[in-house]
Amino acid sequence: MELYLYNTLSRSKEKFIGIKQGEAGIYTCGPTVYLYAHIGNLRTYVFEDVLKRALTYSGYKVQHVMNVTDVGHLVSDSDEGEDKMEIGSRREGKTAWEIAGFYTEAFFRDFKDLNCIMPDVLCKATYHIKEMIKLISALEKNGMTYGISDGIYFDVSKFPDYGKLAGKSHVEGIKAGARVEHNPEKRNPADFALWKFTPAGQQRQMEWDSKWGRGFPGWHIECSAMSLKYLGETFDIHCGGVDHIAIHHTNEIAQSEAATGRKFVNYWLHGEFLVMTGADKMAKSAGNFITLSALNDRGYGALDYRYFCFSAHYRKQLEFSWEALASSKQSLSTLRENIWSLQDDALKHGVRRNKAALPAIGAASAASGQNMDKKSAHHEKFRQAVADDLNVPQALAVLWEVLRDKTICPAEKLEFVKDSDRIFGLNLMSPRPLEELPAETASLIDERDRARKNKDFKKADEIRKELLEKGVAVEDTPRGVRWKIIKN
């Protein structure tokens, strides 16, 4: 499948062509671990996860690298103010290292609950200080840097293409001092810190020696150093939220290309913001943020939120409201009910077939050419939606169409669900949860499982029969025991 992705760099949809045939290298800017991630941040990670899944679905072998910013992200984009880690440390009376450890774990709990596939390489900034120093040295050698009283800076006037990602107006804006407060020692308003010195007479919790003086790296150099290390001088895709276009990614391009002399990234993809009704955006600094566990407290699971994210295209702002989330939860639950009853149907036929040698599931419909055409038309529509810059809302609409289509048999519908869930990542094929069975039936399933594990197959068979009489069919799969309610 050919994928068309909107590239912020060219401001157009482009066909994705990997540098190495059949492979895709992706770098996604990871969390700054001084506080819990909010659901706005998580929207961006869900979008990036769908991108990864779409690439894998299209046959690419994906190499995904994600950083953890555990040092150097200052409160202001103008390289001023405190390091967020030190703020977290003071807020909670713990060391910056403890804060980083705690919120990194919390982040990956959310990440996994959202069913985001773990990166192939997970890299912490504090483990890559050597690489950052090396990169700054290369920039220094190329004449791109200068030192002032609080650190070593990148001189943007030496990089002619500065601002190519954000567009001319952005650069003009910076020049006018509109976006970034101007530190009078800097040569140009847009110049940014590569290495910041520990202020005289102070000791930071996170600081390292360098040839320029004791201090810590700038936030932007972290992502350049780690992406170059793990993906090479030029790689395929770099992602983040739209707020990163103007400064963070613009600066990453400048310093990476100025150091290597080569194009840094071929495709830049950015996810739009989750916004709060009546507010500009959801932000930790604005104090209007909601976490995944706050959703949980009100009865919403992580996958309800994932489904909610699919209500808008990733390049459109999405407005959060509890009503909209409730409606997503309801839709997902209806979707699951539909799928469970399809599974029940398929299993029922399967069981009858075993008993009375009826034709295999789907065999009747496979004979119908018209049915097959319809199925492949739906499939084609689904693939087109995904291929068109990850139009997941559209792809989801196709799934609903398939489920409603009375001319498609349950087994084929299930096949479609399974295939499409490779993109959605909603665990749509997971069986009806055990808790929904009466306690007595659930414990019979457990007992049978124990009997099987003890190789007491006679007992296991007896319990299977007993369960069948109760209207429950059990099946042993490589992933464990599955069960279905069969309505006799």
Catalog residues that contact Zn ion under the rule CB under 5 A. 29, 223
Q: Rounded to the nearest whole angstrom, what is the least distance from the CB of residue 123 to Zn ion in the complex?
A: 11
Q: Rounded to the nearest whole angstrom, what is the least distance from the CB of residue 40 to ligand AMP in the complex?
A: 3
Q: CB under 5 to 8 A by kind: which of Zn ion, ligand AMP, none does 223 bind? A: Zn ion
Of 6, 69, 102, whose CA–CA distance to 387 is shortest? Answer: 6
Q: Rounded to the nearest whole angstrom, what is the least distance from the CB of residue 132 to ligand AMP in the complex?
A: 17
Q: Rounded to the nearest whole angstrom, what is the least distance from the CB of residue 29 to Zn ion in the complex?
A: 3
Q: Is 31 in the site for ligand AMP (CB under 6 A)?
A: yes
Q: Is 282 in the site for ligand AMP (CB under 6 A)?
A: yes
Query: Please, which residues have CB within 8 angstroms of residue 85's CB and are 6 or more apart in sequence?
Result: 33, 34, 70, 71, 73, 96, 99, 100, 205, 206
The identity of residue 465, as a single letter, is K
Nearer to ligand AMP, 43 or 375 (CB): 43
Size of the site for ligand AMP (CB under 6 A): 17
Q: Rounded to the nearest whole angstrom, what is the least distance from the CB of residue 220 to ligand AMP in the complex?
A: 12
Nearer to ligand AMP, 38 or 484 (CB): 38
Q: Is 281 in the site for ligand AMP (CB under 6 A)?
A: yes
Which letter does DSSP use for residue 10 in this model? T
Q: Rounded to the nearest whole angstrom, what is the least distance from the CB of residue 324 to ligand AMP in the complex?
A: 15
Cα(17)–Cα(31) distance, integer angstroms: 28
Cα(166)–Cα(121) distance, integer angstroms: 28
Of 221, 236, 189, 241, whose CA–CA distance to 48 is shortest? Answer: 241
Minimal CB distance residue for ligand AMP: 241
Nearer to Zn ion, 29 or 171 (CB): 29
Can you tell me which of 70, 236, 243, 257 binds ligand AMP, judged by CB under 6 A? 243
Q: CB under 5 to 8 A by kind: which of ligand AMP, Zn ion, none does 32 bind? A: ligand AMP
Tokens of 88: 């977290």
Can you tell me which of 5, 18, 26, 32 binds ligand AMP, judged by CB under 6 A? 32
Tokens of 248: 């963070």
Cα(83)–Cα(348) distance, integer angstroms: 60
CB 319 within 8 A of CB 277: yes
Q: Rounded to the nearest whole angstrom, what is the least distance from the CB of residue 481 to ligand AMP in the complex?
A: 39
Q: Which of residues 419-448 bind ligand AMP (CB under 6 A)?
A: none
Can you tell me which of 25, 119, 189, 240 binds ligand AMP, judged by CB under 6 A? 240
Cα(233)–Cα(229) distance, integer angstroms: 8
Of 478, 471, 480, whose CA–CA distance to 344 is shortest? Answer: 471
Which letter does DSSP use for residue 134 in this model? H
Strand blocks (E) in 286-406: 318-320
Which of the stretches 238-246, 331-339, 371-379, 446-454 binds ligand AMP when contact is defined by CB under 6 A?
238-246
* 391-416 burial code (b ≥16 CB/10 A, e <16): bbebbbebbeebbeeeebbbbbbbbb
Q: Which of residues 39-78 bind ligand AMP (CB under 6 A)?
A: 40-41, 43-44
Nearer to Zn ion, 223 or 444 (CB): 223
Cα(289)–Cα(377) distance, integer angstroms: 42
Query: 97-105: long-range contacts (C-beta < 8 A, 24 or more apart)?
Result: 97/205, 97/206, 99/33, 99/34, 100/33, 100/34, 100/68, 100/70, 100/71, 100/124, 100/126, 102/33, 103/31, 103/33, 103/34, 103/35, 103/36, 104/31, 104/33, 104/68, 104/70
Can you tell me which of 215, 241, 362, 431 binds ligand AMP, judged by CB under 6 A? 241
Q: Is 29 in the site for ligand AMP (CB under 6 A)?
A: yes
Distance from CA of residue 285 to its chain's centroid?
22
Residue that the structure tokens 């464990």 belong to = 480
Which of the stretches 115-123, 267-275, 302-310, 437-445 binds ligand AMP when contact is defined by CB under 6 A?
267-275
Nearer to ligand AMP, 36 or 416 (CB): 36
Nearer to Zn ion, 29 or 114 (CB): 29
Which of the stretches 270-278, 307-315, 356-364, 390-398 binds ligand AMP when contact is defined by CB under 6 A?
270-278
Cα(370)–Cα(416) distance, integer angstroms: 17
Residues paired with 217 in a beta bridge? 195
Q: Is 459 in the site for ligand AMP (CB under 6 A)?
A: no
Residues 194-233: x where in contact with ligand AMP by CB under 6 A, - otherwise, as a string: ----------------------------------------
Q: CB 125: neighbour CB atoms within 10 A?
A: 29
Q: Is 273 in the site for ligand AMP (CB under 6 A)?
A: yes
Q: Rounded to the nearest whole angstrom, what is the least distance from the CB of residue 453 to Zn ion in the complex?
A: 47
Sign, Cα dihedral of 2, 8, 10, 11: positive
Which of the stretches 266-274, 409-417, 418-426, 446-454 binds ligand AMP when contact is defined by CB under 6 A?
266-274
Nearer to ligand AMP, 29 or 254 (CB): 29
Give residues in contact with ligand AMP (CB under 6 A).
29, 31-32, 40-41, 43-44, 240-241, 243-244, 271, 273-274, 281-283
